[in-house]
Amino acid sequence: MMIGLRVAIATMLAASLWAGGWSAPAEATDRAGNALVTCRAKLAGDHLVVEIQAIEGWHVYAMDNELRAKEALAGKMSLGVEQSTEVQVSGGLNVVGGWYQTKPEDFSQPELRWYSYGFEGTSTLAAEVERTSGDSASVTVRAQACDSASCVAVEAALDVPLTDGAGESFSTDSLVPVRSS
């Protein structure tokens, strides 16, 4: 009886955390099926908001990681640059403004000429959008998830409902603009 109650409570808590117009969460996994990143998205007023949560010990890279690394290298050679996070939107939404992101952490190791910027834990990406048609939009998040020993390309596909959130407001004040070349 207690195990069933615990499962029911955990299910209700998980549902409430993902409520509020958010898409169903999508896990991005490694080849063995281990979840490394969980993503969700929603329409909030005239913004598409994407939330990425890396599991403890893992991180993903900023949407402008490659540009930031190139600027830091100032023409010098590097051992490599991690893949920037990408968000593709199709279906009922069209991105009409620039992207914003949580302020990236600096993971760089200048002594190795290795520069990288990204997010541990939960990060937010947002862009101004306009509705085109339909009751939902498809959002695909592609990222590189890394821990201290390895990196894995991950992808999460989301079906974002457009029936909720149109009256909700969203501010990018706590985010920084994604740099572009």
91-136 pLDDT per residue, tens = 999 999 999 999 999 999 888 888 999 999 999 999 999 999 889 9
Identity at 86, one-letter amino acid code: E
Q: Which pLDDT score is estimated for 24?
A: 97
Distance CA 39, CA 161 (A): 15
Q: Which pLDDT score is estimated for 8?
A: 30
Ordered strands of the 93-101 beta sheet: 26-29, 35-44, 47-54, 122-131, 93-101, 176-177
Q: Which pLDDT score is estimated for 20?
A: 65
Non-local (6+) Cβ contacts of 98 within 8 A are 127, 128, 177, 178, 180
Q: Which pLDDT score is estimated for 79?
A: 73
Q: What's this model's pTM, rounded to 2 decimal places?
A: 0.85
Radius of gyration of the chain, Cα coordinates, nearest whole angstrom = 18
Q: Which residues of the chain have pLDDT under 50?
A: 1-18
CA 81 to chain centre: 19
Q: Which domain holds residue 42?
A: 2-177
Q: Which pLDDT score is estimated for 132?
A: 93
CATH number for 75: 2.60.40.1250
Task: State the total domains in the chain.
Answer: 1
Q: Which pLDDT score is estimated for 11?
A: 34
